[in-house]
Structure 1
Amino acid sequence: MSLPEVVSRAQWRAAREELLVKEKVVTHARDALNAERRRLPMVEIDKEYVFEGGDGKATLLDLFEGRQQLVVYHFMFAPEWDAGCRSCSAFLDQIGHLAHLRARGTTFAAVSRAPYTTILPFKARMGWTLPWYSASLGDFNDDFEVTLERDGELVERPGLSCFLRDRDRVLHTYSTYERGLDGLGSTTSLLDLTALGRQEEWEEPAGRASALGAPAGSERVLYHDEYED
């Protein structure tokens, strides 16, 4: 095994400060990329998708649960599988407490092609309580390019899609797939993919921090049991 060399504390500090300069460059570049993502145009969803969940059939608008934004994780779970994808399961395991997303008007849900009757026992096995819907009743997975035909066979790939609600209009704002999911899972990393972002005053483009009519900054970061859902 090749390991870094052992040095004095002073040498380590000097090397760490040199690396910190590069890390700050990446942080600023990420902020700029997130701002550019928030400036992406949107596409109105005029197709009626039907899902199945714990309360029966639901539309894409229903998945918002009344909030302004929706983040959908495209969980790989084909109809013929007995269990969900291991990598997708690891991804859901690292999702933070949903109260922090919901406090910023954002709903998180998983969607798979497997029937809900197959999803439900696997969800119970994993101990997850997050919303999870079956898209087996339509072509949602096909339209959002997570179920693809390759060499005459249907294959699954993981992905994540973001939506914005304007009254009863649903707008598709962003999607990413496979390696684009690297590093995601925390509340801030998911909000960074949305049109409204973290809703902080320092974010560009300006004017979206107050979109939900709530105070920005540390006043909005509470213990998860203090939020009013």
Structure 2
Amino acid sequence: MTSSALKPAADLANTNTRRVPNESAEYRKARQALLVEEIELRRHIERVAELRRALPPGGEVTRAYEFVGESGKASLADLFGNKPTLIVYSYMFGERREKPCPMCTSFMSTWESKLPDVEQRVSFVFVARSPIARLIEAKQARGWTGHRLYSDPSGDYTRDYVSKEDADLPGYNVFTRHDGTIRHFWGGEMGAGTMDPGQDPRGAPDMDPLWTILDTTPEGRGKDWYPKLSY
């Protein structure tokens, strides 16, 4: 829907009749102003999603990538299964890392119960640079059952789509397959170079519910707190 067909956010906010017991007039005025911004944010998120969906065809995948999964070797095409779209989340668990990245692990854990829903529409796999045996061991330690794990033993995929230097970095990439042709559709490109002062590198919208939940609290995300593998 075009912006010209939408009612002004302030008009929508004025239809809000919700009130909290004992709130002050000062609070209500500020909350209504915040509601206008929340409506605008929702609209901006949808505009960004529309622009993403309208991207022209991405680069064709012509290289034969080989992964090792829990059931053996697999090509990139194999990872699609019977779906036309494939999401590949690359997580930080390289051979030099003693344990998987706590941030990646926390992020991936939030998807455990959502994967059956997601995979009704697209294929979703997780790739790291450690041997598959290490990935399986860490998966079992977390109690995950839905994550489909793959090792990138040669690092070819990682260097092409995550880090040219084969650095231990996270990556989120979406691929499409039509008439046998695989193309890169979209990948996260926000990082240290695009972050604002005082913030950690983050994408938008933030796909990790951890931070979205904390953003609704007076404490916020904090400046020096990060999830751990155990508490």
What's the TM-score once normalised by structure 2's chain length?
A: 0.69
- Write the deviation string for residues 76-131 of structure 1: whole angstroms up to 9, x where unpaired: 1112323211111011011251122122x201111011111111101111112210
- Write the deviation string for residues 132-185 of structure 1: whole angstroms up to 9, x where unpaired: 1001134100001x2343xxxx52211200011114221110111542276214
* Alpha-carbon spacing, 1:134–1:67, altered in 2? closer, same or farther (3 Å): same
Aligned partner (choices 171, 174, 184) of residue 207 of structure 2: 184
Taking the aligned partners of 1:138 and 1:14, their CA distance within structure 2 comes to 55
Partner of 2:100: helix, strand, or coil? coil
1:17 aligned partner? 32
Taking the aligned partners of 1:120 and 1:82, their CA distance within structure 2 comes to 14
Aligned partner (choices 169, 174, 179) of residue 181 of structure 2: 169
1:108 aligned partner? 124
Q: Is the 8 A contact 1:63 1:70 kept in 2?
A: yes
Are 1:139 and 2:156 matched, yes or no?
yes
Question: After superposition, where does 1:20-59 map in structure 2 within 5 Å?
Answer: 20-41=35-56, 42-59=58-75
1:67 aligned partner? 83
1:159 aligned partner? 171
Taking the aligned partners of 1:148 and 1:47, their CA distance within structure 2 comes to 15
Indicate the structure with greater strand content: 1
Partner of 1:147: helix, strand, or coil? coil
Partner of 1:124: helix, strand, or coil? helix
1:121 aligned partner? 137
Partner of 1:164: helix, strand, or coil? strand
- Structure 2: state its 5+ residue gaps: 1-21, 192-201, 210-231
* Alpha-carbon spacing, 1:158–1:138, altered in 2? closer, same or farther (3 Å): closer
1:97 aligned partner? 114
Taking the aligned partners of 1:185 and 1:86, their CA distance within structure 2 comes to 13
Partner of 2:186: helix, strand, or coil? strand
Taking the aligned partners of 1:172 and 1:89, their CA distance within structure 2 comes to 25
What's the TM-score once normalised by structure 1's chain length?
A: 0.70
- Structure 1: state its 5+ residue gaps: 1-6, 187-229
> 1:12 offset after TM fit, Å?
2.6
Taking the aligned partners of 2:159 and 2:104, their CA distance within structure 1 comes to 18
